[in-house]
Amino acid sequence: MCSESKDPVTSIFGSNVFSEAVMRERLPEDVYKALKPTISEGRPLDASIAGVVANAMKDWAIEKGATHFCHWFQPMTGVTAEKHDSFISPTSDGRTIMEFSGKELIQGEPDASSFPCGGLRATFEARGYTEWDCTSPVFVKENGSNVTLYIPSAFCSYTSEALDKKTPLLRSIDALSYQCLRVLRALGNNTSKRVIGTLGPEQEYFLVDAEFVKKRLDLVLAGRTLFGAPPPKGQEMEDHYYGALHERVACFMNELNVELWKLGVSARTQHNEVAPAQYELAPVFGTVNVATDHNQLCMETMQKVALRHGFVCLLHEKPFAGVSGSGKHNNWSMMTSDGINLLDPGTTPHDNEQFLIMLCAVVRAVDKYAGLLRASVASAGNDHRLGANEAPPAIISIFLGDQLTDIFEQLEKGGAKTSRQSGELKLGINTMPSIPKDCTDRNRTSPFAFTGNKFEFRMVGSSQSTAGPTFVLNTIVADVLGEIADELEKSTDVHAAAQALLQRIATQHKKIIFNGDSYAPQWEAEAERRGLLNIRNSVDGLRPMLDTEVETLFEKHGVLSKHELHARYEILLERYCKEINVEALTTLQMANRQIMPAAIEYSGKIADTVVAIKSAGASANSPRGILSDLCELIDTLQVNIIALKQAVRVASDIDAVTVQAEAYRDSVVPAMNSVREVVDQLENMVDASIWPLPTYAEMLFLR
C-alpha cells in the first residue's frame, strides 16, 4: 500500500522550492545580492530586479514541468486562495512562447469582491491586489498532472487595506524587530541587525476512513459530527497516545512527509495523539512568516494525501464529542539575525539580564493584552475546546516552571541572586548512565507555557491559521518592548533601570503565573479571585478587538488601522454565524431525512411485531414498552426539530452582526444540542441495520 520513495531525504528536501541555494545558483550575482537583504533583513525590495528574478523562476519552474503560475494568498476565509495563469504568450507568427514578467511576479489582480472584507470595500469596488512576499520562498506544487509555480503573496484592497492574514503578520514582524532592537541596543548589543519571531506549530488532526465520512453529511459539510452516541470505549484506556502506529496510518505519514519535504516543510515529529484516530505532526521551527505558510501547506497536504490512502483528514477543533479535540501548539520565540534565541535562559538565568527582560516583556504583554490574545483564537470550532468540554481552559495564564518562577519571585523582592539547578535522573540500573534532568517538569495543561527556550501557546485551534495569534503575539510583545526601550534609553544607569523594571513587572504581573493544573475546577475560582479573564465563547471572546486600548496598540505599531481592525472583527463574527448556520441546517437535514425516517421505520417494525405477537396469543409487554419509549423520543425529536428551525429562522433574519451572533450562540446552539441529545438516545435504541449513520465506535476504531 505504501508508495515507496527511493530517493534519500536529503535530495527530496526542498526539491520543489526556489530556495536560497537555487537563487544563488540561478540569479546573476548582483541580482542575488540585491534580493538577499530584503529576505534576511527586511529591507525594501528593489523592484528593478523583478524581471530577472521572474525569468529565472520561470525557467526553473518549467524544468520542473510547470505550465502555470499563481499568486498564493490567505484571504479571511480560513483557507488559501490561488488564481492560476499560464506562462503561455502568443507571438505574432502564430506560435507561443513561455513568458513571466517582473510585474506578474510582483503583482496580481484577483477580483476581490467574493472574499470577505468586513465593509472595507463596497461590492462595486471589486479591485484587489496580491503582492509577492519575497520573504517566503516560491515553490512548485504538483497537483495530479498539473504543475504550478506558487508565489506566496499578500492581499489588499484598492485602498491598500489588508484583506488577508499575511499582511498584518508581515507588519508585526517589522514592529517586533524594531522595538526589540531598541532594547538590545540599549543593553549594548550593536551587532544584531534584525530580530524575527520564530514559530513551530504542532498540528493535531484526525484520520477517519473515507467510506464512513461519505455517509455523514455532518462531516462532509461541517467537518465535525453533529450526532453520535458515546462509544463503549473512548480514550479512557490511555492506549492511543504515542501508541505504535497502525500500518495504514504509517504509510499515510510516510507519504505526507515526502510531499512536505519536497515543499521544504520540515515535518519532523509524528505520533498518535490522546484520542483514538488522532495524530500530531510537528515541524522544525522557522521564521513566523514562513512557518505560517508552511502550516497552511501542511494542512492542505494532509487532506490531499489522506484521500490517497482512503482516509479523510479532519482538522476541525472538535470532530467528536467526548474525546479530545485538536489544537495547534504554537511554539514561539524571538531570534536575532546573528542566531541568538532571545528566550534561551542559559544555565544561570538569574544573571542573564537580557533574557529576563525578554521573559518579563512576554509576561507583561500576555497579561496586559490577555483579552486580545483570547480573541486571536476565537472561533465557533474552538469554542468546543476553550472553556467548554475540555482543556485548555479559556483562562489565560502562564506556566513558567519551578526555576523561572523562583527567579520571578526573587525579582519581585528586588533582584535575582540564584538559579535553582536541576539534578540527574537516576533509575538505579547499572547499565544506564545517569542523565541530566531538565530544570523544570512539563505542564501539559497551561494555555501559555514556557518550554525551555520558547513559549508554547496552546489555545490555537487546529484549523486556524497561525497568522492571527502570531501577529497578535508579535505586536503585544513589541509594544511592551517599546515601553521598556523608552525607559532604558532615557536612563543614565541601564542596569539599575533594568532591575527596577523587572521588579515592577514581576510585582504587577505575578497574578498571571500559574504552574498548577489548569484543568482542575479549583483553578477557575482561583483565577477569578486573581481577576483573570475567563471568556467561554467566541462572541464575547472577539469583543476585546473593539477596545480603545487595542485600537491604539495596532495603530501605534502600524499593524492594523482602526478601520482594518473593525473589519476583521466583523468578518470573524460573520464567520461564526455562518458556521453555526451550516451546522444547524445540516442538523435539520440529517434529522429530517435520515434519522426520523429510520426511527419511524423501526417503530413501525415493532408495531407490526406487537400485533403479530398478540394475535399469536402471547404477551407483547416488552416490545410494547420499547415501542412506547421510542414513540416518546420521536415526539420529542419532532418538537426539538421545530424549535431549531424556528431558532435558525429568527437568527438568520437579524441584521446587526453582533446581535445575530448572540442569537446563534444563545438560541441556535442550544436548540441544535437538544436535537442531538434525542438523536443520540435513539441511536442506542434503533436496530443497527436500520441506523443510517456510521457510529463513533466505527469511525474512531476501524481503520
Binding site for Mg ion (CB under 5 A): 329
Report the alpha-carbon distance of residue 581 to residue 669 in Å, rounded.
Answer: 9
453 binds, among Mg ion, ligand ADP, none (CB under 5 to 8 A by kind): ligand ADP
Instruction: In angstroms, give the least distance from the CB of 202 to Mg ion.
Output: 5
User: Counting every residue, how long is the chain?
Assistant: 703
Cα Rg of the chain, angstroms: 28
Query: Which lies closer to Mg ion via its Cβ, residue 318 or residue 329?
Result: 329
Query: Which lies closer to ligand ADP via its Cβ, residue 40 or residue 491?
Result: 40
Beta pairing partners, 292:
none
Instruction: In angstroms, give the least distance from the CB of 291 to ligand ADP.
Output: 8
Instruction: In angstroms, give the least distance from the CB of 331 to ligand ADP.
Output: 3
Query: Which lies closer to Mg ion via its Cβ, residue 329 or residue 368?
Result: 329
The one among 58, 240, 350, 454 contacting ligand ADP by CB under 6 A = 454
457 touches ligand ADP by CB under 6 A: no
Instruction: In angstroms, give the least distance from the CB of 449 to ligand ADP.
Output: 9
CB 374 within 8 A of CB 394: yes
Query: Which lies closer to ligand ADP via its Cβ, residue 270 or residue 695?
Result: 270
The three cell numbers of residue 9 are: 531525504
460 touches ligand ADP by CB under 6 A: no
Q: Which stretch binds ligand ADP (CB under 6 A): 277-285, 365-373, 607-615, 629-637?
A: 277-285
345 touches ligand ADP by CB under 6 A: no
Instruction: In angstroms, give the least distance from the CB of 329 to Mg ion.
Output: 5
The one among 18, 212, 332, 450 contacting ligand ADP by CB under 6 A = 332
283 binds, among Mg ion, ligand ADP, none (CB under 5 to 8 A by kind): ligand ADP
CA atoms within 13 A on the CB side of 511: 14
The three cell numbers of residue 380 are: 465557533
Contacts of 478 (CB under 8 A, 6+ apart): 172, 175, 176, 178, 179, 180, 557
332 binds, among Mg ion, ligand ADP, none (CB under 5 to 8 A by kind): ligand ADP
CB 201 within 8 A of CB 291: yes
292 binds, among ligand ADP, Mg ion, none (CB under 5 to 8 A by kind): none
Mask of contacts with ligand ADP, 432-451, x by CB under 6 A? -------------------x
Q: How do the residues of the chain divide into helix, strand and coil, expressed in percent and rounded to 5?
A: 50, 15, 35
CB 212 within 8 A of CB 681: no
364 binds, among Mg ion, ligand ADP, none (CB under 5 to 8 A by kind): none
Beta pairing partners, 149:
69, 140
| φ, ψ dihedrals at 85, nearest 5° | -125, 150
282 touches ligand ADP by CB under 6 A: yes
What's at 650, amino acid-wise? V
Dihedral over Cα of 42, 45, 51, 52: its sign: negative
Q: What angle do CA 392, 396, 402 make, to 5 degrees?
A: 85
CB 183 within 8 A of CB 275: no
Check whether the bond before 670 is cis (ω within 30° of 0): no
Residue 355's alpha-carbon distances to 286, 344, 349, 579, in angstroms, are 20, 7, 7, 43
The SS3 of residue 128 is strand
Query: Which lies closer to ligand ADP via its Cβ, residue 116 or residue 200?
Result: 200
Query: Which lies closer to Mg ion via its Cβ, residue 68 or residue 454?
Result: 454
CB 380 within 8 A of CB 503: no
518 binds, among ligand ADP, Mg ion, none (CB under 5 to 8 A by kind): none
Report the alpha-carbon distance of residue 583 to residue 124 in Å, rounded.
Answer: 31
Report the alpha-carbon distance of residue 385 to residue 519 in Å, rounded.
Answer: 12
CB 125 within 8 A of CB 101: no
Query: Which lies closer to ligand ADP via its Cβ, residue 245 or residue 500?
Result: 245
The one among 115, 227, 285, 514 contacting ligand ADP by CB under 6 A = 285
466 touches ligand ADP by CB under 6 A: no
H/E element, 106: helix 102-106
Applying CB under 6 A, the site for ligand ADP has a residue count of 16
Instruction: In angstroms, give the least distance from the CB of 212 to ligand ADP.
Output: 31
151 touches ligand ADP by CB under 6 A: no
Instruction: In angstroms, give the least distance from the CB of 282 to ligand ADP.
Output: 4
Query: Which lies closer to ligand ADP via its Cβ, residue 197 or residue 541?
Result: 197
Instruction: In angstroms, give the least distance from the CB of 679 to ligand ADP.
Output: 39
367 binds, among Mg ion, ligand ADP, none (CB under 5 to 8 A by kind): none
What does DSSP assign to residue 271? E
The SS3 of residue 83 is strand
Query: Which lies closer to Mg ion via its Cβ, residue 329 or residue 575?
Result: 329
Report the alpha-carbon distance of residue 393 to residue 382 in Å, rounded.
Answer: 11
CB 329 within 8 A of CB 194: no
H/E element, 196: strand 195-209
CB 242 within 8 A of CB 250: no
Instruction: In angstroms, give the least distance from the CB of 198 to ligand ADP.
Output: 4
281 binds, among Mg ion, ligand ADP, none (CB under 5 to 8 A by kind): none
401 touches ligand ADP by CB under 6 A: no
Mask of contacts with ligand ADP, 197-216, x by CB under 6 A? -xxx-x--------------
> At which residue does the C-alpha cell 458556521 appear?
579
Query: Which lies closer to ligand ADP via its Cβ, residue 451 or residue 503?
Result: 451
The CB-nearest residue to ligand ADP is 200
282 binds, among ligand ADP, Mg ion, none (CB under 5 to 8 A by kind): ligand ADP
Burial of 626 (0-12, 13-18, 19+ CB in 10 A): middle
557 touches ligand ADP by CB under 6 A: no
Query: Which lies closer to ligand ADP via its Cβ, residue 448 or residue 696?
Result: 448
Query: Which lies closer to Mg ion via its Cβ, residue 204 or residue 564?
Result: 204
CB 331 within 8 A of CB 284: no
Helices (H), 279-352: 288-308
198 binds, among ligand ADP, Mg ion, none (CB under 5 to 8 A by kind): ligand ADP
382 binds, among ligand ADP, Mg ion, none (CB under 5 to 8 A by kind): none
DSSP string computed for 665-682: IIIIHHHHHHHHHHHHHH
Instruction: In angstroms, give the least distance from the CB of 283 to ligand ADP.
Output: 5
Query: Which lies closer to Mg ion via its Cβ, residue 329 or residue 364?
Result: 329
The CB-nearest residue to Mg ion is 329
Instruction: In angstroms, give the least distance from the CB of 404 to ligand ADP.
Output: 15
Using CB under 6 A, list all residues that contact ligand ADP.
198-200, 202, 269, 282-285, 331-333, 341, 451, 453-454
